[in-house]
Amino acid sequence: MSMRLESKTALVTGATSNIGRAIAEAFAAEGVHVVVSGRNAERGNEVVDRIRARGGRADFVQADLDGSATASEGLAREATRVLGGRIDVLVNNAGIYPGDTTAATDEKTFDQVYAVNVKAPFFLTAAVAPAMVAAGGGSIINLGSWIARLGIPVGALYSSTKGAVETLTRAWAAEFGPQGVRVNAISPGVVLTPAPGQVHPGEVMMKGTPAGRMGTPDAIANAAVYLAGEESSFVHGIVLDVDGGRTTAAVIAA
């Protein structure tokens, strides 16, 4: 442990798997007391056990962020209690991804995706940011997506929610930055935990990019550690692309 974030506290939503899990584990390795939040208690407690086994501090708080203000406010209250009265870092990571085409998306799905991906982080930030201001500062990190700015034939609904999150990031930076709360976002590329011996379809999307491969959750976690720490104290309102160059360089077909 390097303890770059020693004595800080953090709430990470959607922290029971993939990117959220990696962020929670990376924070704990840097000295953060982390609240791991998600719907699945079994998976959440597994993450907590892994962190504690390595000497870190973590607790699980179960939450179903359905987009209601009540759910977000309830999570904020419980996480604040578990963390001893304050949240220094909030990571809005929880989200759902339906890969349907526009014509195949019904109204119920539309409302659900916007509820989880936009309304839930909106009301969670509304609940947490004022307390950060009162405590003297904090950092909020949102998760965007590379397909918010580079169109693909499926997933228009999901990509539009991530576009909204990136817009909220800039608006919140303007709103809360002058009061000591930094707000930034990370835009992951094609990021998956590699399965031994398997070739994932996502690898095709990274052909011809500067990285030439899919990313791992650890790459996103490292970016989150940077945005949570003092090294990024002059960074406000950015969307940090961690995508292997997928959106910044011309893709050369192999």
Residue whose pair of structure tokens reads 């699945």 in the numeric block: 40
34: buried, middle or exposed (CB in 10 Å: 19+, 13-18, 0-12)? Answer: buried
Q: Is 158 a catalytic residue?
A: yes
Partners of 141 in beta bridges: 91, 184
85: buried, middle or exposed (CB in 10 Å: 19+, 13-18, 0-12)? Answer: exposed
Nearest-angstrom CA–CA distance, 34 and 107:
36
Amino acid at site 230 = E
Is the separation of the CB atoms in 126 and 75 below 8 Å?
Answer: no
Of 251, 242, 199, which Cα lies nearest the Cα of 224? Answer: 242
- CB 29: neighbour CB atoms within 10 A? 20
| Catalytic residue positions, numbered | 158
